């Protein structure tokens, strides 16, 4: 049979964001694939050089529509390090709380996308329905469902009163029950296993050589998590377990992410119980002393890396952002080798791409 080249993207029902794959098929088997990025490039790194540090917080928030909070967290951390600011503990705790809520929301969204891609619409509908709980919680405390605008340089913008804390606690309890039900379903469902087990395999060596990060790396047996290894915000005061699996396929990735949801909700409850008293932010000067700094954080998809160079003015001289999607994306041609055409959708979903993050 002659080879057929199937274009997937830049617009395709499989993709939620524009990226382009060209997949060469021999019958139903993928023999070769290539990918092209850059359809949502907005030049954010360049834009950041033309705005002040404070304005940039709102620009940075718009890098990603799913993990907006983690970007501002990393950015604010970088500036706070340069300024030598001592952020109040309550501020750090609230920042961490939002990070964990965002992780829950991102992972539930991802489960829906994977389920949709393998034709299991019921799980898609259920997981997105349950995601509404965490979205409502975030809206309640910050005013925004996905763009919260919570972080400011020197702390956070919002404070939590007793009512909100009880609301969060009961919301998390409700969510926990539903997520456990979802996990039970996908763990036992044979048709889900048939479409995810043994697909998109990455060995530990692959993961190390491609510098893969986040849940994809943890699903292949690499025990990394910045929240534990290089704690930022309030993580050094919290108990964190890092789920690790060795299978390295889409199935393991989904299990890792599902366990991370439970873990994130445990962390959020810890934060609610041990929230310290005091102010939530300090005032930060407008000018940042010259110097350079690297700031890292564990986004839902893995390590986010910010490099910031300051020349002592109100505007950064250089801001370099590397998102987890970019590192994980490179493994896709490797993962797509020799899979069936029908599994391409599962493999692409398994990596949890955030194209807007990768293109910036």
280: left (phi over 0), alpha (psi -120 to 50) or beta: alpha
Q: Closest approach of Cβ 42 to another protein, in Å?
A: 27
Alpha helices in the chain (DSSP H): 44-49, 53-61, 68-83, 89-117, 121-142, 162-188, 190-196, 204-210, 214-219, 226-229, 250-274, 324-329, 332-336, 341-351, 355-359
Our finding on whether 261 is near another protein (CB under 8 A) is no
CB nearer another protein, residue 121 or residue 241: 121
Q: Closest approach of Cβ 230 to another protein, in Å?
A: 37
Q: Closest approach of Cβ 122 to another protein, in Å?
A: 5
296 three-state secondary structure: strand
Q: Which of 34, 12, 157, 56 is nearest to 360 (CA)?
A: 56
Q: Segment near another protein (CB under 8 A), from 87-95, 119-127, 209-217, 283-291?
A: 119-127
The upper half-sphere exposure of residue 22, i.e. CA atoms within 13 Å in the direction of its Cβ, equals 6
CB nearer another protein, residue 78 or residue 120: 120
**Binding footprint of another protein, residue count (CB under 8 A):** 32
The CA radius of gyration of the chain, in Å to the nearest whole number, is 20
Our finding on whether 282 is near another protein (CB under 8 A) is no
Q: Closest approach of Cβ 21 to another protein, in Å?
A: 11
- Distance of alpha carbon 152 from alpha carbon 76, whole angstroms: 7
CB nearer another protein, residue 8 or residue 83: 8
Given the structure tokens 């925004």, which residue do they identify? 144
Cβ atoms of 339 and 253 closer than 8 Å: no
Residues 169-208 that bind another protein (CB under 8 A): 189, 191-192, 194-195
- Distance of alpha carbon 115 from alpha carbon 113, whole angstroms: 5
Print the binding letters for residues 6-35 with another protein: x by CB under 8 A, - otherwise: xxx---xxx----------x--x-------
CB nearer another protein, residue 1 or residue 162: 1
Our finding on whether 120 is near another protein (CB under 8 A) is yes
Q: Which of 124, 134, 101, 138 is nearest to 254 (CA)?
A: 124
Centre a 10 Å sphere on the Cβ of residue 267 and count the other Cβ atoms it contains.
25
Print the binding letters for residues 125-144 with another protein: x by CB under 8 A, - otherwise: xx--x---------------
Our finding on whether 115 is near another protein (CB under 8 A) is yes
Our finding on whether 355 is near another protein (CB under 8 A) is no
Enumerate binding residues for another protein (CB under 8 A). 4-8, 12-14, 25, 28, 115-122, 125-126, 129, 189, 191-192, 194-195, 340-345
């Amino acid at each position: 049979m002659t080879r057929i080249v199937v274009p997937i993207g830049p617009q395709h029902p499989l993709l939620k964001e524009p990226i382009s794959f060209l997949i060469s098929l021999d019958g139903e088997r993928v023999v070769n694939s290539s990918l092209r990025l850059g359809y949502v490039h907005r030049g954010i790194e360049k834009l950041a050089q033309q705005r002040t540090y404070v304005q940039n917080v709102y620009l940075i928030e718009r890098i990603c529509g799913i993990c907006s909070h983690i970007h501002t967290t990393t950015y604010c951390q970088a500036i706070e390090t340069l300024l030598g600011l001592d952020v109040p503990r309550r501020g750090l705790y609230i920042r961490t709380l939002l990070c964990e809520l965002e992780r829950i929301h991102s992972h539930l969204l991802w489960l829906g996308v994977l389920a949709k891609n393998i034709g299991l619409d019921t799980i898609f509908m259920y997981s997105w329905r349950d995601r509404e709980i965490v979205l409502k919680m975030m809206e309640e405390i910050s005013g925004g469902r996905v763009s919260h605008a919570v972080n400011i340089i020197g702390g956070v913008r919002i404070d939590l009163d007793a009512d909100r804390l009880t609301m969060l606690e009961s919301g998390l309890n409700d969510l926990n029950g539903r997520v456990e039900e979802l996990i039970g379903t996908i763990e036992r469902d044979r048709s889900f296993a048939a479409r995810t087990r043994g697909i998109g395999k990455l060995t530990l060596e692959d993961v190390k050589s491609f510098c893969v990060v986040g849940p994809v790396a943890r699903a292949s047996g690499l025990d990394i998590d910045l929240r534990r290894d290089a704690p930022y915000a309030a993580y050094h005061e919290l108990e964190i377990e890092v789920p690790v699996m060795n299978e390295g396929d889409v199935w393991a990735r989904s299990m890792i992410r599902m366990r991370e949801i439970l873990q994130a909700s445990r962390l959020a409850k810890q934060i609610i119980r041990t929230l310290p008293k005091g102010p939530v932010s300090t005032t930060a000067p407008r000018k940042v002393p010259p110097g350079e700094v690297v700031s890292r954080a564990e986004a839902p998809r893995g390590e986010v890396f910010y490099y910031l160079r300051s020349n002592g003015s109100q505007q950064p001289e250089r801001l370099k952002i590397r998102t987890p999607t970019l590192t994980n994306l490179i493994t896709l041609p490797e993962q797509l080798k020799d899979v069936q055409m029908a599994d391409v959708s599962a493999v692409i979903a398994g990596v949890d791409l955030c194209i807007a993050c990768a293109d910036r």
